[in-house]
Amino acid sequence: MAAGPRATADTAPAAGAGEVEGEHIKPFTPEKAKEIIMSLQQPAIFCNMAVDWPAQHWTAEHLSEVLHGKQIRFRMGMKRTDTVPQFETTCGYVEATLEEFLTWNCDQSPLSGPFRDYDHSKFWAYADYKYFVSLFDDKTDIFEGVIWSDFGFPGRNGRQSTLWIGSMGAHTPCHLDSYGCNLVFQVQGRKRWHLFPPEDTPFLYPTRIPYEESSVFSKINVVNPDLKRFPRFCKARRHMVTLNPGQVLFVPRHWWHYVESIDPVTVSINSWIELEEDHQARVEEAITRILVCALKTAEDPHNTRAWLNPTEVEETSHEVNCRYLNRAVSALFDYYRTSKVVEVQAMRTNREHMKKEGLNVHNHMEMEQTGGHDLSLGVVKQEAASLFGPDLVPVILTSEELPSKTGSIFEGDGKDFVGEDGEHSGKLHCTKRQRMMSKSEDAIVEQNASNSNMAPSQTLISTDDLLDCLLNPQVTRIVAQLLIQGRSLWF
């Protein structure tokens, strides 16, 4: 069952002066919550922000009644400790109702029914990536039970959300999301999150096989890594946290994450928040799709399921993929045009305002050219960090040793949010960004040097090996930029 409340983070503050008894005043206004989300560079947990959401009562038992026997697809994985990740292409799948899942999950391994081939003591089940609009298509009023507008995103609710229901041990392999940032509301049970910063990408051995749009997977099982095969992983900086019911986890853009259910039943709801960077990311994803589909289909045109994630149901013909690329590039340039218009209008309004105030426009522009904009952005980030406390808890760097299954929200042993490196986490992870980037660049150089000094391998280079190089996130980014620059001659 779910862990009991912790005084440090999981309990709502006592009623203060001016607060009406029985009425919950949230620690952050929607405007302030959005400001934090858009400026914070490290994962953090919001507490006491969803205590009045109807969705907080959506246990698996409740959802079983709401769905009235509707069939859901469950991914079935082995409860085993192996160094190889359990990708979705290697899992089994079952179509079952939530009621059938709950019966099986009570360790009542049925002799008949959809779970008959899966011994509960050996397997876990995960109904993941279930879009509300598909799952509750005839019960749209349920969308209002998820109130992302409390975080500064008006109109965003269950319609833009996905549902995740799993048994103990159910997990998603380590990956990063190409688009947006992520907000995750924990409804029932606890989940443990293993997170790694974007700068650690060289240490996570990224791959696009299996292929899924917007997901870059790691070749490593981060809870049981094979350090002989992946030695650079020991340099990755693991941030670990246990997400309890009622809490909302913020996952910044491009943070790697491995998520595992550590209670008998877990229910989560998430929403991906769009960001400006997504426009170029869609071009990168379109390039990736073309190359993966072209090379893998040429290798074996009759076995796409060996490399194509089950979540990918779209046509994979070269013609369709090229159209997708052209649409992504066109959308990017449309965004550029709109942004330029908005930027010009903003500059004009700002200039008129400064004239009214009698300010020196030239001095202001000079300040911007010398880093005034970066300075102001840094101030915003520092202000976000200063809000850390019982209602906004930073996810901090952990020790190398993995915690027990009964870990708390504070996975490190440092008090007052002190990280493993001895620095106060209140300074915020983004203040160390330059040092992290330097480390990342050093890692890439070290990786290339290491590869060049290795003895020739007796194993033949495979299509997947080639794709790992061609579709390394850094390479794809460069290709996208070159493509955009070439097309900009028409812009």
pLDDT, tens digit, for every residue of 30-56?
Answer: 999 999 999 999 999 999 999 999 999
For residues 303 and 257, membership in a common domain is answered with no
- Evaluate whether residue 287 is within a structural domain: yes
Selection from 395, 407, 2, 408 nearest residue 186 by Cα: 2
Which of 101-115, 228-242, 374-388 has the highest average model confidence (pLDDT)?
Answer: 228-242
Task: Give the residue-averaged pLDDT of 84-107.
Answer: 94
For residues 315 and 181, membership in a common domain is answered with no
What whole-number distance in Å separates Cα of residue 315 and Cα of residue 444? 35
Cβ atoms within 10 A of the Cβ of 225, count? 19
> pTM score, two decimals?
0.79
For residues 207 and 324, membership in a common domain is answered with no
> 119 vs 2, which has greater pLDDT?
119
- Evaluate whether residue 4 is within a structural domain: no
- Evaluate whether residue 462 is within a structural domain: no
For residues 108 and 250, membership in a common domain is answered with yes
Identify the residue whose tokens are 């929403």: 271
Q: In the chain, pLDDT over 90 holds for what percent of residues?
A: 64
Residue-wise pLDDT for 298-331, tens only, equals 999 888 888 999 888 766 789 999 999 999 999 9
**pLDDT classification of 346: cutoffs 50, 70, 90:** low
For residues 187 and 127, membership in a common domain is answered with yes
Which of 231, 248, 275 marks a domain boundary? Answer: 275
Q: Compute the mean pLDDT over every residue in the chain, rounded to the nearest whole number.
A: 81
Residue-wise pLDDT for 131-166, tens only, equals 999 999 889 999 999 999 999 999 999 999 999 999
- As beta bridge partners, residue 123 has 78
- Evaluate whether residue 456 is within a structural domain: no
**Angle 325-331-335 from CA coordinates, rounded to 5°:** 145
For residues 216 and 103, membership in a common domain is answered with yes
At 19 the pLDDT is 44
Selection from 156, 151, 101 nearest residue 128 by Cα: 101
> 19 vs 90, which has greater pLDDT?
90
Which of 236, 260, 275 marks a domain boundary? Answer: 275
Which letter does DSSP use for residue 461 in this model?
A: P
Query: 187-196, 208-217, 449-458 — which is least confidently predicted?
Result: 449-458
What whole-number distance in Å separates Cα of residue 158 and Cα of residue 187? 14
Task: Give the residue-averaged pLDDT of 226-239.
Answer: 97
Residue 115 pLDDT > 60? yes
The first and second tokens of residue 316, run together, are: 């994979």
Measured between its terminal Cα atoms, the distance across the chain in Å is 58
Which of 275, 300, 335 marks a domain boundary? Answer: 275
Contact 90, 115 (CB under 8 A): no
Task: Give the residue-averaged pLDDT of 457-477.
Answer: 91
Query: 81-95, 97-111, 209-223 — which is least confidently predicted?
Result: 97-111
367: left (phi over 0), alpha (psi -120 to 50) or beta: alpha
Residue 98 pLDDT > 60? yes
281-315 in b/e burial notation, b at 16+ Cβ within 10 A? bbbbbbbbbbbbbebbbeeeeeeeeebbbeebeee
Q: Per DSSP, which regions of 24-109 are E strands?
A: 44-46, 72-78, 92-96
At 486 the pLDDT is 86
Residue 119 pLDDT > 90? yes
Give the CATH number of the domain where residue 150 resides.
2.60.120.10
Rg (CA), the chain: 24
- Evaluate whether residue 350 is within a structural domain: yes
For residues 165 and 192, membership in a common domain is answered with yes
What is the span of the domain harbouring residue 338?
276-355+475-490
At 207 the pLDDT is 97
- Evaluate whether residue 74 is within a structural domain: yes
At 112 the pLDDT is 81
**pLDDT classification of 80: cutoffs 50, 70, 90:** confident
At 445 the pLDDT is 47
Contact 85, 173 (CB under 8 A): yes
Residue 367 pLDDT > 60? no
Task: Give the residue-averaged pLDDT of 395-423.
Answer: 50
For residues 196 and 94, membership in a common domain is answered with yes
- Evaluate whether residue 469 is within a structural domain: no
List CB contacts of 64: < 8 A, sequence separation 6 or more. 97, 98, 99, 102
List CB contacts of 196: < 8 A, sequence separation 6 or more. 174, 203, 204, 222, 236, 237, 238, 239, 255, 256, 257
Number of domains in the chain: 2
Task: Give the residue-averaged pLDDT of 230-236.
Answer: 97
For residues 102 and 121, membership in a common domain is answered with yes
> 38 vs 372, which has greater pLDDT?
38
For residues 120 and 259, membership in a common domain is answered with yes
For residues 318 and 228, membership in a common domain is answered with no
- Evaluate whether residue 486 is within a structural domain: yes
190 by Cβ neighbours in 10 Å (0-12 / 13-18 / 19+) ranks as buried
List CB contacts of 481: < 8 A, sequence separation 6 or more. 280
For residues 188 and 308, membership in a common domain is answered with no
Residue 491 pLDDT > 60? no
> 20 vs 464, which has greater pLDDT?
464
